Amino acid sequence: MVKILIVEDERKTGDYLRQGLSEAGFVADLARDGIDGAHLATQNDYDLVVLDVMLPGMDGWEVLRRIRAQGRSMPVLFLTARDQVDDRVKGLELGADDYLVKPFAFSELLARVRTLLRRGLGREQQRLQVADLELDLLRRRVVRAGKRIDLTAKEFALLELLLRRQGEVLPRSLIASQVWDMNFDSDTNVIEVAVRRLRAKVDDDFEPKLIHTVRGMGYVIEAPEQT
Ligand code: CA
């Protein structure tokens, strides 16, 4: 789930951006001034920030300065009403990744957002997550609700595969070939056993349950629909 923070004080523009980005499949939060924006951006893990320059309370430059001062390197797309070269230079010097001059078409913003997210994917792909379950690929660590979970190498590989393709029902044959490097033999219950063990570690003591059996088809990991 890709999370985007929008910092925009113009009510209509903010609502429009939030709705558009939500419809495009992102989780979009909206802050209506710079102080809220800086707070949200430094306290949460956003994958991208869409940041208006002219904001009440604290301008976009200062918000960006605070984000970078916290060591956060998510891409930042500036929205500027002033088509001024020095504004662009200033933004890029402060560590903005791109800028868009108002007024702009939503399709243009969406294209920029997707490009920036792709560029940042290297970093993003080091961590896989569903709900409060996180898998850190570099450190080979699994944490749920802040609690460290110890997995065997096979359990880790199984969880990684499920997370990489979360929301997708994975047939046992695919799991067998990807995790055990073997062809599926209908007589063996090695996958059922492994899934049961994995569930005991990541689901039994927690809510909501994340790993689901789809009878006759396979397994899927996903968080319940948010309402
Ligand atoms: Ca503004």
Q: In angstroms, rounded to a whole number, what is the distance separating the alpha carbons of residues 95 and 91? A: 6
User: Cα of 63 to ligand 1 centre, how many Å?
Assistant: 13
On whether both 16 and 116 belong to a single domain, the answer is yes
On whether both 158 and 174 belong to a single domain, the answer is yes
Domain that holds residue 178: 126-221
User: Cα of 12 to ligand 1 centre, how many Å?
Assistant: 11
User: Cα of 60 to ligand 1 centre, how many Å?
Assistant: 9
On whether both 99 and 163 belong to a single domain, the answer is no
Q: With respect to residue 227, please indicate whether it lies within any of the assigned structural domains.
A: no
Helix (H/G/I), strand (E/B), else coil: 87 = helix
Question: Per-residue pLDDT averaged across 221-226, rounded?
Answer: 84
Q: Are strands 218-221 and 48-52 parallel, antiparallel or unpaired?
A: unpaired
Helix (H/G/I), strand (E/B), else coil: 52 = strand
| CA atoms 64, 77, 227, 1: torsion sign | negative
On whether both 109 and 168 belong to a single domain, the answer is no
pTM score over 0.85: no
Q: What digits encode the pLDDT tens for the residues 80-103? A: 876 666 777 777 777 778 889 888
Q: What digits encode the pLDDT tens for the residues 17-64? A: 999 998 887 889 999 999 999 999 999 989 999 999 989 989 999 999
User: Cα of 55 to ligand 1 centre, how many Å?
Assistant: 5
Number of structural domains in the chain: 2
Confidence at residue 7, expressed as pLDDT on a 0 to 100 scale: 98
* Domain end point (choices 70, 104, 120): 120
Q: With respect to residue 216, please indicate whether it lies within any of the assigned structural domains.
A: yes
Order of all β-strands in the sheet with 133-136: 127-130, 133-136, 141-144, 147-149
Confidence at residue 1, expressed as pLDDT on a 0 to 100 scale: 67
On whether both 151 and 209 belong to a single domain, the answer is yes
User: Cα of 49 to ligand 1 centre, how many Å?
Assistant: 15
Confidence at residue 226, expressed as pLDDT on a 0 to 100 scale: 62
On whether both 75 and 165 belong to a single domain, the answer is no
| Predicted confidence (pLDDT) at residue 138 exceeds the cutoff of 80 | no
On whether both 55 and 151 belong to a single domain, the answer is no
Helix (H/G/I), strand (E/B), else coil: 72 = coil
| Predicted confidence (pLDDT) at residue 137 exceeds the cutoff of 90 | no
Question: Per-residue pLDDT averaged across 173-184, rounded?
Answer: 78
